[in-house]
């Protein structure tokens, strides 16, 4: 017997398939999709068995498979196929696609201290008669009680071995066994109560139920607070009655403990959670629950799309517009595309949900590629909050640099009424730039083409790209002048301002306050229990939160996302403003939103003010059409990285010319240009943007380009098909 084995060699994840022969003694264990150890050159490495066959001509020089690693395949037929499809569509290596599907614990190249937790249990070690007799004659109540308990429950979990247990073991009446334990347990949402679906919700549920065995992709466009979570749960409930399974993706699970909590209320321990906040060992626990068929529902972020569930009945992707569904590094897959591939395999629907669908998805719904479902109103019939736009150009003249008069007044009002407030500022740190008052010198990262951010809490300057830190200098490194000036407002500064201006309990949520395990959940739980009046933070506070006491949402500076050099910056701004506005007035008290901006007339801000998704969609589509961007054109980004500036420049030009020569005439090649952030971590970043509608040659051209540069050491080329940002 022979096996085709896919191995990974070197850091560049170059795919290599080789034939090995299967020695007699391993024949019983070997299967397709299992991992094996093989010799490659002088090393022993791991690989996946992709196929097995009996006849092979050249069987003299073949090496044997050394060992079989798993007891059962870790990649089933579906996953093996899926990997090939991902390779086809994203131009990644096959090995990297397979590795993306598996938890860290199963990755060959990573040797972490992943362990399986074992709990100790006592079980009976004698026949009933003996036990009965012992209980009758025993004088020690503790021992009797123990035996009774074990008899009743068949087993008893113990954490320590006391003298009573010791005695029972000595007499051979009981023995200790070890059983695998799972560490992580998601918490219920204590504020949740079950509801009866309203008509709109029921219609959506029925539409999906009616075609539950067809691979249809639905786009659920439901305004904030329209009760999408209830719809998801109802559909999943139905799928379970058919004895099928479900995956639900959320953008970043540690930010949405409320949604998870509601699922736990309803489905108890029938759920596995794949959470970036879990340790690798905990993730492995969750993975084993899924693999063993002990749970039917998986909730998780992007990579949970690979959850090895059999018999999928529905795949739900909440907040489908979120860019985190696209992986930013190799393999650059999009979980939405993978979901659709899996739905075809399992013949089940995909449900994409959002209050602000991505332009691509809404356009597909318009072309009937997706089927559109809508929830036009809030579930409790409350209106969407009133949105006020404040022109900061005027406020600055009055000396209000951070909080406008209007926002200050409204905050005070809410504090007086014991209501809660959410403030969004999409920039962390204290100030985003330090400059010299004399010469104007800006303190920049020595490794990156970006200014350093001042963090007051730790009193240092930090690079948000490479992590470089330094002390804040007291004199200008350029001219020696002693005065520096802070520019650009961050969340730390906002927190300080709030503390100075108001007597209130305030909590900040950003990357810096949430790097400890469980910190997100704690902040959200405490805010939900009204331990704080004001929650302020970066975009991580914008999504999914449902707090009845929040009646005011303030956006400190709507322009932070607007100024990002990306064709999606208006869309991102509109989405963020709608999402965060949607946190206000979700219960009995009406909500109010105040958006501070230096661009009050900008269309993305105006449409957000009116909660007018369709208006925004139409205007933005016209702009995309005019400029030739997605969804009218497909986009592929070719990134060129080099340590050497000149060499990078030369190769970027070569690549630009190569592309121009080898694509269809209708395809547009932009660049090469410097990437928006030109230097990161001492690497220079160039890029070419490829815009096309249909191109017969392009794919092969990109594959060729990739092959040329795979072996190149000084230049790195990455191809990003349908990038989430430029």
Q: Give the binding site for Zn ion (CB under 5 A).
A: 445, 447-448, 463, 465-466, 468
Half-sphere exposure (Cβ direction) of 552: Cα atoms closer than 13 Å: 24
Q: Select 98 or 574, whichever has its Cβ closest to ligand ADP.
A: 574
Q: Most distant CA pair in the chain: distance in Å?
A: 95
The site partner of 230 among Zn ion, ligand ADP, none (C-beta below 5 to 8 Å per kind) is ligand ADP
The site partner of 379 among ligand ADP, Zn ion, none (C-beta below 5 to 8 Å per kind) is ligand ADP
Query: CA-CA distance, 289 to 284, in Å (whole number)?
Result: 9
**CB burial class (10 A; 0-12, 13-18, 19+) of residue 340?**
middle
Q: Select 575 or 597, whichever has its Cβ closest to ligand ADP.
A: 575
Spatial CB neighbours of 292, under 8 Å, sequence gap ≥ 6 = none
Determine the residue with CB nearest ligand ADP: 227
SS3 667: coil
Site residues (CB under 6 A) for ligand ADP, limited to 540-579: 546
The site partner of 468 among Zn ion, ligand ADP, none (C-beta below 5 to 8 Å per kind) is Zn ion
Is 226 a residue that touches ligand ADP (CB under 6 A)?
yes
Q: Which residues pair with 334 in a beta bridge?
A: 326
Of 94, 3, 93, the closest CA to residue 51 belongs to: 3
Q: 617 near 581, Cβ under 8 Å? A: no
| Beta carbon of residue 470, minimum distance to Zn ion (angstroms, whole number) | 11
Q: Select 109 or 380, whichever has its Cβ closest to ligand ADP.
A: 380
Structural tokens at position 582: 């949607």
The site partner of 227 among Zn ion, ligand ADP, none (C-beta below 5 to 8 Å per kind) is ligand ADP
| Beta carbon of residue 553, minimum distance to ligand ADP (angstroms, whole number) | 14
Q: Select 65 or 379, whichever has its Cβ closest to ligand ADP.
A: 379
Q: Select 318 or 510, whichever has its Cβ closest to ligand ADP.
A: 318
Residue of 8, 230, 571, 592 that binds ligand ADP (CB under 6 A): 230
The site partner of 723 among ligand ADP, Zn ion, none (C-beta below 5 to 8 Å per kind) is none
Q: 621 near 359, Cβ under 8 Å? A: yes
The site partner of 137 among ligand ADP, Zn ion, none (C-beta below 5 to 8 Å per kind) is none
Is 319 a residue that touches ligand ADP (CB under 6 A)?
no
| Beta carbon of residue 527, minimum distance to ligand ADP (angstroms, whole number) | 15
Interstrand relation of 506-509 and 534-537 (parallel, antiparallel or unpaired): parallel
Site residues (CB under 6 A) for ligand ADP, limited to 143-202: 195-198, 201
Q: Select 13 or 356, whichever has its Cβ closest to ligand ADP.
A: 356
DSSP type of residue 591:
P
Please give the size of the binding site for ligand ADP, defined by CB under 6 A.
Answer: 17
Residue of 228, 332, 462, 543 that binds ligand ADP (CB under 6 A): 228
Query: CA-CA distance, 346 to 327, in Å (whole number)?
Result: 23
Is 125 a residue that touches ligand ADP (CB under 6 A)?
no
The site partner of 447 among Zn ion, ligand ADP, none (C-beta below 5 to 8 Å per kind) is Zn ion
Q: Select 2 or 465, whichever has its Cβ closest to Zn ion.
A: 465
Of 308, 279, 294, 295, the closest CA to residue 184 belongs to: 279
Buried b (16+ CB within 10 A) or exposed e, 6-44: bbbeeeebebeeeebebeeebeebbebbbbbbbebeeee
Query: CA-CA distance, 617 to 357, in Å (whole number)?
Result: 9
Is 237 a residue that touches ligand ADP (CB under 6 A)?
no
Q: Select 237 or 412, whichever has its Cβ closest to ligand ADP.
A: 237
The site partner of 197 among Zn ion, ligand ADP, none (C-beta below 5 to 8 Å per kind) is ligand ADP
Sign of CA dihedral 462, 468, 472, 476: negative
Is 281 a residue that touches ligand ADP (CB under 6 A)?
no
Residue of 380, 394, 405, 529 that binds ligand ADP (CB under 6 A): 380
Query: CA-CA distance, 559 to 570, in Å (whole number)?
Result: 10
Site residues (CB under 6 A) for ligand ADP, limited to 194-223: 195-198, 201, 222
| Beta carbon of residue 370, minimum distance to ligand ADP (angstroms, whole number) | 18
Half-sphere exposure (Cβ direction) of 603: Cα atoms closer than 13 Å: 14
Q: Select 195 or 647, whichever has its Cβ closest to ligand ADP.
A: 195
Helix (H) or strand (E) holding 282: helix 280-291
| Beta carbon of residue 377, minimum distance to ligand ADP (angstroms, whole number) | 11
Strands of the sheet with 35-40, listed across from one edge: 14-21, 2-9, 43-53, 35-40, 65-68
Query: CA-CA distance, 551 to 591, in Å (whole number)?
Result: 4
The site partner of 627 among Zn ion, ligand ADP, none (C-beta below 5 to 8 Å per kind) is none
Applying CB under 6 A, the residues found at the interface with ligand ADP are: 195-198, 201, 222, 224-230, 379-380, 546, 586
């Amino acid at each position: 017997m022979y096996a085709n084995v896919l191995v990974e060699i070197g850091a560049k994840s170059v795919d290599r398939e080789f034939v090995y022969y299967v020695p007699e003694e391993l024949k019983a264990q070997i299967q397709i999709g299992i991992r094996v150890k093989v010799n490659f050159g002088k090393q022993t490495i791991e690989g996946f068995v992709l196929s097995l066959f009996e006849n092979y001509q050249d069987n003299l020089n073949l090496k044997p498979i050394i060992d079989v690693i798993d007891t059962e395949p870790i990649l089933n037929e579906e996953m093996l196929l899926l990997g090939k499809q991902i390779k086809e569509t994203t131009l990644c290596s096959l090995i990297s696609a397979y590795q993306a599907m598996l938890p860290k614990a199963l990755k060959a190249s990573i040797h972490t201290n992943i362990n399986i937790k074992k709990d100790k249990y006592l079980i009976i070690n004698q026949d009933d008669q003996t036990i009965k007799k012992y209980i009758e004659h025993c004088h020690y109540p503790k021992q009797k009680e123990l035996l009774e308990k074990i008899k009743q429950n068949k087993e008893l979990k113990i954490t320590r071995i006391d003298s009573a247990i010791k005695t029972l073991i000595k007499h051979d009446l009981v023995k200790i066994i070890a059983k695998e334990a799972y560490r992580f347990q998601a918490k219920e949402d204590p504020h949740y109560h079950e509801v009866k679906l309203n008509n709109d919700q029921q219609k959506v549920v029925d539409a999906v139920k009616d075609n539950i065995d067809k691979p249809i992709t639905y786009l659920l466009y439901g305004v904030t607070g329209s009760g999408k979570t209830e719809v998801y749960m109802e559909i999943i409930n139905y799928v379970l009655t058919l004895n099928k399974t479900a995956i639900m993706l959320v953008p970043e699970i540690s930010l949405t403990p409320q949604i998870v909590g509601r699922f736990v209320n309803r489905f108890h321990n029938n759920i596995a959670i794949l959470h970036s906040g879990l340790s690798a060992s905990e993730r492995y626990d969750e993975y084993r629950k899924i693999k063993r068929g002990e749970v039917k529902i998986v909730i998780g972020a992007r990579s949970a799309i690979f959850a090895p569930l059999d018999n999928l009945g529905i795949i739900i992707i909440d907040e489908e517009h979120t860019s985190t569904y696209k992986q930013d590094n190799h393999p650059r897959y999009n979980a939405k595309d993978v979901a659709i591939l899996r739905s075809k395999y399992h013949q089940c629907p995909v449900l994409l949900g959002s209050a602000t669908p991505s332009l691509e998805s809404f356009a597909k719904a318009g072309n009937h590629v997706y089927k559109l479902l809508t929830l036009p109103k809030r579930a409790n019939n409350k209106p969407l909050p009133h949105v006020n736009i404040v022109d900061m150009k005027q406020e600055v003249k009055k000396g209000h640099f951070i909080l406008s008069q209007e926002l200050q007044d409204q905050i005070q009002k809410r504090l007086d009424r014991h209501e809660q407030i959410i403030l969004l500022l999409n920039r962390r740190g204290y100030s985003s730039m330090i400059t010299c008052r004399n010469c104007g010198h800006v303190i920049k990262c020595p490794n990156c083409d970006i200014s350093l951010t001042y963090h007051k809490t730790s009193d240092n300057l930090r690079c948000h790209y490479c992590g470089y830190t330094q002390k804040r200098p007291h004199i200008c490194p350029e001219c020696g002048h002693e005065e520096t000036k802070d520019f650009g407002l961050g969340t730390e500064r906002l927190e300080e301002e709030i503390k100075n201006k108001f007597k209130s309990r305030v909590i900040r949520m950003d990357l810096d306050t949430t790097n400890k395990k469980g910190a997100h959940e704690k902040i959200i739980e405490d805010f939900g229990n009204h331990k704080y009046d004001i929650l302020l933070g970066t975009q991580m506070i914008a999504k999914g939160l449902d707090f009845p006491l929040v009646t005011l949402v303030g956006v400190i500076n709507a322009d932070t996302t607007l100024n990002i050099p990306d064709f999606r910056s208006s869309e991102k701004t509109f989405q963020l403003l709608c999402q965060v506005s949607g946190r206000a007035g979700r219960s009995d008290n009406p909500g109010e939103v105040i958006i501070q901006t230096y661009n009050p007339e900008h269309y993305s801000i105006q449409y957000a003010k009116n909660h007018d998704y369709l208006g925004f969609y139409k205007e933005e589509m016209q702009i995309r059409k005019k400029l030739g961007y997605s969804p009218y054109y497909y986009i592929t980004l070719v990134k060129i990285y080099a340590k050497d500036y000149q060499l990078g420049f030369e190769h970027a030009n070569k690549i630009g010319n190569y592309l121009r020569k080898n694509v269809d005439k209708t395809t547009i090649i932009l660049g090469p240009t410097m990437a928006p952030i030109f230097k990161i971590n001492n690497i220079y970043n160039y890029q070419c943007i490829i815009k096309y509608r249909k191109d017969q040659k392009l794919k092969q051209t990109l594959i060729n380009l990739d092959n040329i540069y795979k072996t190149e050491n000084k230049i790195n080329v990455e191809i990003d098909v349908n990038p989430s940002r430029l």
